[in-house]
Amino acid sequence: MNYIYPVNQVDIIKASDFQSQEISSLEEVVSAKYSDIKMDTDIQVSQIMEMVSNQESLNPESLAKLQMMLSNYSIGISLAGTLARKTVSAVETLLKS
């Protein structure tokens, strides 16, 4: 007969590494993903600031590229905020049950 033992933390299998069957805590996975998002946004910010500081970026082609970069940055930040809210909500739900 199999018994279910209580778990102190939520352990999940990393979706990116099914072959090794490495188990990580939810906190580690979320922390790693948010640090990846932060690194990506830091790179985007530096690229945007470089474009803005360059006086040659006043032509229409460069301005269109800058607008696209700002739009992508805004969407990424909005997505990160939504994911953070959903993660907190999921953890609160797990803690209540």
pLDDT tens for residues 18-59? 555 567 787 888 888 888 889 999 999 999 999 888 877 678
* pLDDT tens, residue by residue, 68-87: 999 999 998 998 899 889 98
CA dihedral 22, 24, 28, 30 (to 10 degrees): 90
What own/partner pairs with CB < 8 Å and gap ≥ 24 does 9-16 have?
Answer: 10/94
Compute the distance between CA of residue 85 and CA of residue 93 in angstroms, rounded to an integer.
12
- Nearest residue to 80 (alpha-carbon basis) of 36, 15, 16: 36
Q: Tokens standing for 27?
A: 């906190």
